[in-house]
Structure 1
Amino acid sequence: MATGRDLEPSVEAGRELSFRERQLILDSAEDAVEITEAIAECSCLHALRLEGNTVGVAAAKAIAATLTKRPELKRVYWNDMFTGRLRCEIPPALKSLGEAIILSGAELTELDLSDNAFGPDGIQSCKDLLRNKSCFTLKELRLNNCGLGAEGGKILAKALKECHEESSAKGQPLALKVFVAGRNRLENDGAVVLAEAFRLLGTLEEVQMPQNGITHQGISALAMAFTKNTNLQILNLNDNTFTETGAACMAEALKTLQKLEVVNFGDCLVRSKGACAIAKSLQSGLEKLTELNLSYGEIKKEAANEVVKALASKEHLQKVDLNGNCLGQEGCVLVRKTLESLHKGAVLCSLSDDEGSESDGGSRDDEADENEEVQEDLGSHLQGEELADPELQIKGKAIIHSKVGVSSQDLAAQLDNLSFSAE
């Protein structure tokens, strides 16, 4: 039996039918009658919100049956929709709903599946929808906190690439603008294949992929892909692990992303050399920048000061976060004074969690980290993770050549044997 708070479904001016946060427990078709009747009676249904309820397989099939007759549907919010469900229940429920959209002939512009812990099996059940003509028109795709893992990332990337290929053949290439997939444990394998999809798209304006366990190889692949998405305005890769290699590649990419407004590389271990590379890119552009987050990156005072000096011409700047680095008291004062001298003192966030200087034990040695990165790159032979862009391949090789602790002659000999082309 359906239970939940005593609230009426709302039909908003934008032709949106909302059951949002009703806390309904929908097990059977009978439990879903309120929703199915409301869908059937709605004169024109452009958006359907089901988040904040819990939907079982039978209820999902009943709802799906009514959606087959709604070709005008544009936006579906199926996030946070399976609380308390067995994981095996979620894929068939999603498959039913996806098939209904396909049968209806609807052309979606927004699909939100966030906060559903369905893992690779869940995204597998959505792949037919994602590559169908109903998603040729998709502008916003949100899959935050779904537990995709690397395998789920591969399934998703393949579906997006197939959608782009098939939509292009029909003369209406997929032009996705918003991609959100934080907290999914995508790691390098998932990030690299998604980078290939992003590279094909070239239309992204917002990318949010925080907390995915991505290290410098995946970050470098994403950086290369972002250079093909020059309309990017919001970039959030918080709580991944750039280190110097990833930061250098991302800094290079920033030079092509002149429409960026929000850059969040907080908790990404860009370290001092990476911060300096980013500062150089900031100095030469990004005039629309409003927010910059380089917090908790083990950045020392000199590098942090280079970053803030690079912000001199940023007239739209509203927020700079350098908290939790290795500035020490002297560095905190220096950064504040530099920003004040640029008449931007008000944009600086608190530095209350600064971890002190490296001499106080706040930072790991950059050189040791760089040597590990080189060995990882050489030992894996990059495993096809470099994308097939000759100019970017050269840049990638140059970055590896610059590492400390390996003689350039020996490293060059080993690099000549590596393959930099995609599988």
Structure 2
Amino acid sequence: MANEVRTTKVSQKFNTVDDVADLIDEIKQKEDSLETLVLEGNSYGIEPLKAIGEALTMCHQVKHLMLNDMFISRLKTEIPEALRLLFGGIMSSEAKIITLNLNDNAIGPVTMPQLLPFLESKSCESLRILRLNNCGLGIRGGQMLSNVLSRLENLQELIIGRNRLEIDGVRDICQSLSNLSHLEILELPQNGTKGDGIVGLTQALASNKNLKVLNLNDNVLKGMDKLLADTVQGLKYLEVLNFGDCLLKTSGCISLMSAIQRVCTTNGVCYLREIILNGNEIGKNAVPSIKATIEQILKSRAHDEIELKIDLSCNNLGEDLVEDLRAQFADSINLIVEDDEGSADEQDDDEPIDLAGDENVNLNQSNNGDVLDVEQLIIQYDSNFQNLKKLAEDFFLVSSKGFRNDLNNISDRSKIEVEAIIKVGLKYQLKNHGFDFINELLIVCGLLKSEDKKSKTYSSNDLRGPVLALAFSLKFLNDINQKKCIRVFLKKVMDDEKYDTVRSNLLSFVYSF
């Protein structure tokens, strides 16, 4: 291409300026006609990239940087400086970058201080495509990246798989994506995320209704049936859905199929062309729903000329049902059902997802991904009510997870859930003159010792969130004696150094309500 410069060599190690002399000459010859720079598949040292960066200062029209796999066998200590020099040249040129591909480079947290200023610069104001697949970011690198993602207002494609982001990294990144609205492609495969990470993802997708590609391959989606179904139902332009190796199980598959059917019927048209559900331990009970969904997609798909691909390999459908599926759909779709592990007895796989080690948190969310209002939450907590002790434990989990260090307070979402929990708990108080629920709350806040020796001890936990939530709960108590009781216990902890960072907010709650 006339407007492209690329290295003609592959798997070469460039250590000196002379090693890239031809490449630099070509960059200088093209100057403002250069739009695409391709450096992939080689190994660049600091000096070569410094020279390339200097040459790029005169290339004001560069739009696409294909920098994937360009540090083969380089030390992690070399990469930050090399990228700083390269990015410095581009920022000096004031070029407006549209595509930044850094896949398969050992960036990690150590290089983020060099990448983030570039992403924050005017050069990336128009960035639409960001690819950071297999860059070793880890949780810390993901959290650092999340600080700038929300500023990339034009971002349409984010590929950030194989980075060991786990729960915290994905959650923080998705919080940033909630502030965007133009995403069309989101790929987060093989990041070891589940629970809160997936909850954060669904919230982000509620703001990005035009998504066309969603790839969560090889993460844990077990127990997220309703949340994921509600999310998929809102993505009416979705073309590719990859939930392979995600432990969806039979119930998850059925919920997903129902959501896809609702997309077809509600919108009257379906854009899906690829559904990947391999390796999900999907059993025979899901087959009727799969059949009905395929038929619905074929009936309402937007483009008849595009072949529909569905991969159900490595599940537990059973030989007879696999053959039945092939007989019915092999001529109309690209159906892949290989290495089926045979039908097994269906088991109840609707157990709740583990969000924090051995605890479960209430996943209250509306169909559009927004947090439900108080009245809706009250209905849900009321319908799932077991006992006051369990409700107090929900209070502990919601307030603990909702504590924000940056604000030294609990989040707005937590306040809404705390309000619902308190109102349901007060409804079920039947003994001890209305103090049985208050006692349970004091216990989970570590302010009162339980008489039940089998009860969990909370005093060793970080209790800033629960104590703040307890103080906030004063707002919803009408009984003067209940309020006095809680204030007495809260005032006892005011001088405890554990609560130094939250003391001002704690005082505000105590004396406001």
Is the structural similarity TM-score above 0.5? yes
Match in the other structure for 2:40: 51
CA–CA separation in structure 2 for the residues paired with 1:122 and 1:375:
30
Q: Which of residues 225, 229, 234 is equivalent to 1:251? A: 229
Is 1:356 matched up with 2:342? yes
Match in the other structure for 2:253: 275
CA–CA separation in structure 1 for the residues paired with 2:47 and 2:93:
19
| Alignment CA distance shift 1:326-1:145 (3 Å) | same
Question: Identity of aligned pairs, percent?
Answer: 33
CA–CA separation in structure 1 for the residues paired with 2:282 and 2:250:
5
Q: Which of residues 262, 267, 281 is equivalent to 1:284? A: 262
User: More deviation in 190-199 or 25-34?
Assistant: 25-34
**Cα deviations across residues 119-160 of structure 1 (Å, max 9, x unaligned)?**
121233201001111111001001111111111111111121
Matches within 5 A, 1:11-410: 12-13=1-2, 15-19=3-7, 21-43=9-31, 44-161=33-150, 163-164=151-152, 174-245=153-224, 247-286=225-264, 287-315=270-298, 316=301, 318-336=308-326, 340=328, 345-359=331-345, 366=349, 370-371=351-352, 373=354, 376=357, 378=359, 389-391=370-372, 407=386
| TM value normalised by structure 2 | 0.69
Q: Give the gaps of 5 or more residues in structure 2.
A: 265-269, 302-306, 364-368, 405-513
Letter in 1 for 2:44: V
Offset of 1:81 from its aligned partner?
0.3
Offset of 1:251 from its aligned partner?
1.2
CA–CA separation in structure 2 for the residues paired with 1:393 and 1:294:
36
**Cα deviations across residues 32-64 of structure 1 (Å, max 9, x unaligned)?**
222221111115111100111110011111111
SS in 1 for 2:53: helix
Offset of 1:237 from its aligned partner?
0.9
Offset of 1:390 from its aligned partner?
2.5
Letter in 1 for 2:161: G
More contact order relative to length (CA 8 Å, sep ≥ 6): 1
Q: Give the gaps of 5 or more residues in structure 1.
A: 1-11, 165-173, 383-387
Q: Is the 8 A contact 1:305 1:335 kept in 2?
A: no
Offset of 1:411 from its aligned partner?
4.0
Letter in 2 for 1:293: I
Which is greater in Rg? 2
CA–CA separation in structure 1 for the residues paired with 2:249 and 2:381:
17
Q: Is the 8 A contact 1:114 1:145 kept in 2?
A: yes
Offset of 1:289 from its aligned partner?
0.8
Offset of 1:378 from its aligned partner?
3.7
| TM value normalised by structure 1 | 0.83
SS in 1 for 2:22: helix
**Cα deviations across residues 272-309 of structure 1 (Å, max 9, x unaligned)?**
11111111111111511111111111111112331331
User: More deviation in 215-224 or 412-421?
Assistant: 412-421
User: More deviation in 116-125 or 128-137?
Assistant: 116-125
Letter in 1 for 2:158: F
C-alpha RMSD of the superposition: 3.0
| Alignment CA distance shift 1:374-1:196 (3 Å) | closer
CA–CA separation in structure 1 for the residues paired with 2:343 and 2:193:
26
CA–CA separation in structure 2 for the residues paired with 1:346 and 1:380:
43
CA–CA separation in structure 2 for the residues paired with 1:303 and 1:205:
29
